[in-house]
Each structure stands twice: as C-alpha cells, then as structure tokens.
A and B are shown apart, each in its own frame.
Chain A
C-alpha cells in the first residue's frame, strides 16, 4: 500500500490521505479547477493587458527583475500579508515587464495557460512552505492570470501611499476563486469532515491550508490519562445501593403492604421468643449469678490513675452517650465514678450531646446517691457544647469562654467578678484538671475527643491523664489509642464487662453485678441461636439447591 510522509511531522500516512492523521497538516495541496472557479472577468479592470503576454507563472520579484520599474514596495507587500487580501488590497505599484527580459530558464518553464491549469497557482514563498510534498502527477499547477500577464503600468494603478488612504485591493482570480464566500458554511473536505479554516495571514478564510505553526511545535498540554477505578461487581452493587439510599433521602417512602406471615416473620418471632424467654426466666429467677470477670490491663490502669489522685482533685467528666445506651454506660461507669467520689474528687460535667447534661444529672441521682454530691459544691454541670469537633476544640482552647455558666446559669469560673465554684478553683485550662474521663458510646465521638483533646495533654509539664469509659462496640476502634506507644488514652473501661471487672477491683458497684449473670447467659443463648439457626438455614438452603446443582453437574 502506498504511503505519504507528512512534511511537518514526518509520520507515515496512507496514500489517499489529504491531511496528516497526526498533526493535521495538509498532504495534498488544494487543486483549483477553472470550471468551478469564477471567470477571469473577476480580475479588476486595472490589471494591464500586457500581463497576458507573459509566458508562464512569473512572480512579482521576477517581474520586477525584468522591468525597469521599481518592484512592489515592502509596505504594499506587507499590506497583502497582513490580510489585505480580504479587503482586496493588492500591491498598487506593479511593474511592466516585457517578454524580451524573460531569462532562458524561466522561458523553459512549462507553458500552461491559466485556463487549463487546475491546481492552485503557487508563488515561490508558498512553494517553500509546501517543501517536499509529493505532488500527484495528474494534477497540474495552474498559473494565475496575474502571474502570467505583465503587470500594469504605473499610471494605470491607483497609488496608495498612506495606509489610511489605501484603496481596497483586488485579489487575483485564482485567489478570489478559491476564497470562501463570507456567508458560506464551513468547508467540508472530500471525506465529509469539517476542515480547519485559517484565521490569520494572507490565507485567512481558506480551509485545508497548512498551518503556519505546525502542531508538533505548538505548546500543548500534556495528555491526561484517565484514572480507572478497580471496582468489583459486588462493590458496584453496594455503590448502587448506597446511591439509591442517598437519593431516596427526604422522599417519603410508601409503606409496603403487609403480605401476611412469611418464613422471615416466623424466624424473627422464634428468635424473639427464645431469647427473651430465656432472659425473662433468668431475670425472674436470678439463677444465673456468675463470677465477675478478671480485670484487664486497661481497666487496671484506670484504677491505678484514680487511686493516685490527690485529695480534692479536679476531674473533668464528659457524659457523651445517648439515652438509649444509658443502661450499658451506667453499668460500666458506676464503679468508676463511685471510686472517684470515694477519693473526694471535684467533678466538672460537660457534654457534646444535647441530652448529655441531663443524663449526667440522672446518673448522679440514680447511681451515686450514697455520696450525697451536691450541684455547685461537689460537682458543677457546665452543660452542652455544640458543634462536635469544633466545640471540643473551642473548649480545649478556652474552656471559660466556651462554657462560662453552669446549667443553672450560674457563673462557674474564677474571675475578678466571681469567686468561682469549688470544682473549678485554680482551673484555667484543660491541663489544670488532674484527670479527664470521657464516658462515650460512639466511636466517632470518642475519636474526636482523642484527636482534639489529647494533643493538648502532650504539652510539657502536663500531668493530666485521659481515660475513657466506653460502650463495648467502641472497644475495637479505640483500643489502638491505648496500645499506642506512647499511649494516647491512658486507660479504658469497655462496656459492662469492663464495669464488672472494675467493680470486682474496688469491691463496690451493685449495678454491674446485677446485670452480669443475665448478660452472660443472654450472650451465650444469642451466640447459640446464631450458630444453630445459621447451620439449619444453610442446610435447608443447600438441600433445596442440591437438585439444581445435580442438574448442572449432569449437564
């Protein structure tokens, strides 16, 4: 198969290509057909007839050589190059050249009349642009009329000495013929694709011309390769599910109609009856008393830190859990707070949850009534810090400005105007507390406390420790903060198990002891339910699928 090499980028293209596939340079010069072009009568009348006498394509400079008249000035040529063609500006001072002055080598040029030529007449500077382009031999180059005819006399051409007085120039016939009409639609090439139209220079308005600045020298933005994500089919299903969930947010979903009793209902009722029945029996009879669990390292650390507190220590206690988990959190924190109160610590209560301050009051009334702690004396409830992590950061930066009053709107902090409450005597910053204890049920909230508060406690000369009493669900996520070296959280009490272990350490705390027996029993029953129920279900579904599997195997 024949190939054409692009004169601009040098890459190989099929022989029949008209433009380069890589840099869009024209491979084949445009051919001008005289039958399709405007008749020679378009030539302005000022064009001298003596030009017709010239044998073949003679350019201005060549004509200038032959003639005594001065060649066209650079200024007039510049007018042409600057787009004067559109306005029809042509060099006005054209010279007359006689046939006797034609050099021999020029005379030997093929003598084709302009009318017979089909190709676009090329001046030398245009030829230089095309370079080594292979010309199809079947397409002769047409010589324009004005190249083949001598230039008009000086007197027959209007002079245009000043730019402002330049008369609109006139195009040679060949240029006029191939220039698009102003309102014409975009030129479409032979292949039916729109071509690039030159927007500047003497070839403005023409399509399919070689670009003045080839593509490969133009600065281009480096191509960006798309980053593909490796997403499995399963993940795609999950993504679609999540997208559907998000899109359905806010839209009222119609309640599905009840279809009667299905196997799913029966399974759910069975689980409820077995589990709740076992627990009710355990609660009523109280026959599931069990030894309290052994304490773990993180629980022992909490005990050690509280035991080392000085008398009348200032302790910040955060109640950051929801009322729904108050059963577990109360049971986990009872023995710990009881230990604090036994040490005589002053407690400052805060919360980042709106119901936290009320839960704190409820906790103290319900589980610590034996200590007779009084609000405003032994403890102070500063209330609610809104804003999540922002609120925590604000409290860390300046606790006095964040929570200036108690829940009862009493000025809490020491200042010039107020003496401050006993629980906050000598406390200006978070570092002034001996111990920070956070009672939290949510992993994200626990993490926010660590991220915002713990760096503050890393300051030099800070002896404040951070401990947490958390729900059992938080243990896996928060344990890395305890296992870190250096520790970010100095001690943990995880769930009812931790609370019961702490109760065993201190020998106090009735609530975790009460719940411990039924708790263990309930967990075992639940685990057996999941295991046995799951095995039964999987066996049933396997049996149901086995004929299908056998059928597939036989095939």
Chain B
C-alpha cells in the first residue's frame, strides 16, 4: 500500500466515523464532514459541467468550428450569459428568457415522455393482463394468470381512485361524496400501503448494503493494525 493509499484510507476511516457520530446526536464533527463533502461534490459537478459540456459544446465550436457552427453556438452563449445573471438579485430578471426556454423544453419533454412512455403503454399493459395467448406461450397456469390479472386491474383502478379528490357541488346543494368512489379509494389505499411498504424494505436493503460495505472497510482497516496483538490468528 502506497502512502497515498494509506493516507486515503485513514481519511476514509475518519470521515466514516465522523458521519456515524450522528447517532449520538448532531455535533460539530458531523457537520464538519458534511460541509467538506458538499464542497467536494460541488467542485466535481462544476468541473464536469465545464469540461464535459461547455468547453466541447460551446467554446470549441465558437473558436474552431465552421461558420454555421459558430452562428449556432452564439445563441446558447448569449442565453447562457443571460442565465448567469440569475446569481444577482438585481440583474435576475434578465435571466427570465433562458429560463422560459428551459421550462418550455422541459415541460414538452416531460409531457411527451409521460404520454408515449408511460400512459399509453401502461394502460395497454393493464388491458393485456388478460391476454390468454401469451399465458399459454409462457406455460403459466391460466387460472392463476386470470386471478392475478383481476387483482392487478382492480388494484390499478383503485389506486387511481384514491388520488381523486374532487367533489362537484351544485348551487345551494351540499357537496355529495360518491360512496362507491370512496370505497374504491380505500381499497386503493391498501394497495398503495403494500407498494410503499415494499419500497421501504427496498430502501432499507440498499442502506444495509451500504452499512455492510462501510463496516467491511472499517474492519479491514483496523484488522491489520490489531493483527500484531493476535499473532496466532
């Protein structure tokens, strides 16, 4: 192990313990570690944005590109400078134009993706749950597939019903809650509880692996230091 690796391992060990000290309670050592982490992460993000995006996509076309490339690069350059004014509260309104540009593109990408990538395919998938031909091809029990399909369809509709909060009211009449919709929403709530419980277990599993990795690191760091004390092991 080189000196750099040793120093790095010591740093990693110290930082791990600093963060684990949060279990005792919020303390200055934990906050020190967090602030160092934020500084390092921000530094990496800045360099990646500059080296990997702005230099090859903006500077190089402006300096070395063809006439068409230069003209095309002028627009994002101007917009980029305008966007930088968002740092200053006084000049901030100048940055509204590039923000409007970004918002327009982002909204369109989100809408288009939701429609073509999720809404239609998943709705189609709910219908195809009862595709008996594919059940035969995969050699799955037909009855089981049908039962599962019914449960999934009911669960999907019930979950969507749970997210319906609107109640239409008529003039001079009390708002009426549709009883059947409310009941369906209760069923949907149960499905959502199952899904969220699964997600909770998933997050816990991911955290467990992180903990095991950190413990392995700590043990593997400390073990060589303690080995001289236990020559027989």
Contacts and interface: CB of A to CB of B under 8 A. Distances in A.
Interface of A: 223, 225-231, 255, 258, 265, 268-269, 272, 276, 279-280, 283-284, 324-325, 327-328, 331, 354-355, 357-358, 383-384, 386-390, 393, 404-405, 407, 409, 441, 447-448, 450-452, 454-455, 471-477, 480-481, 483-485, 488, 495-497, 514-515, 518-519, 522-523, 526
Given A229-B166, A473-B206, A523-B208, A279 B57 contact: no
Given A409-B55, A451-B113, A476 B202 contact: yes
Interface in B187-214: 195, 198-199, 201-206, 208-214
**A interface, over-half SS:** helix
A451 B114 contact: yes
A289 to B, nearest CB: 14
Interface of B: 23-26, 41, 44-45, 48-49, 51-53, 55-57, 102, 105-106, 109-110, 112-114, 116-118, 121-122, 124-125, 128-129, 131, 134, 165-171, 175, 177, 195, 198-199, 201-206, 208-216, 219
Contact of B122 (A230, A231, A441, A484): A484
Given A452-B113, A515-B213, A354 B45 contact: yes
Contacts of B125: 480, 483-485
B169 A522 contact: no
A455 B165 contact: no
Closest 10 CB pairs of A and B: A451-B117, A451-B113, A327-B213, A484-B125, A473-B202, A485-B128, A328-B209, A472-B202, A383-B52, A354-B45
A383 B48 contact: yes
Contacts, number: 176
Contact of A475 (B45, B55, B198): B198
Given A228-B167, A386-B53, A515-B213, 8 more contacts: A227-B166, A227-B168, A276-B211, A325-B206, A354-B48, A384-B49, A471-B202, A515-B212
Contact of B116 (A230, A451, A485, A515): A451
A226 B114 CA distance: 30
Contact of B109 (A357, A390, A447, A476): A390
Contact of A476 (B105, B134, B198, B206): B198
B97 to A, nearest CB: 17
Q: Which of A409, A451, A488 has the most CB of B within 10 A?
A: A451
Contacts of B128: 484-485
B56 A484 contact: no
Contacts of A324: 210
Given A483-B125, A519-B209, A522-B208, A390 B198 contact: no
Contacts of B198: 475-476
Given A384-B49, A472-B206, A477-B199, A227 B167 contact: yes
Contact of B106 (A231, A269, A390): A390
Nearest to B194: A476
Contacts of B51: 407, 409
A430 to B, nearest CB: 14
Contacts of A472: 201-203, 205-206
**B interface, over-half SS:** helix
A518 B212 contact: yes
Contact of A496 (B166, B171, B205): B205
B228 to A, nearest CB: 17
Contacts of A384: 48-49, 52-53
Contacts of A496: 205, 209
Contact of A355 (B44, B114, B121, B210): B44
B210 A327 contact: yes
Contacts of A471: 202, 206
Contacts of A389: 106, 109-110, 113
A485 B138 CA distance: 12
Contacts of B26: 255
A496 B195 CA distance: 20
A61 to B, nearest CB: 48
Contact of B203 (A407, A451, A473): A473
20 contacts: A227-B166, A269-B24, A279-B211, A283-B219, A327-B213, A328-B209, A355-B45, A357-B48, A388-B106, A389-B110, A393-B109, A405-B56, A450-B117, A454-B121, A473-B206, A476-B195, A480-B125, A515-B212, A515-B213, A523-B204
B131 A485 contact: yes
Contacts of B102: 390
B199 to A, nearest CB: 5
Contacts of A476: 195, 198-199, 202
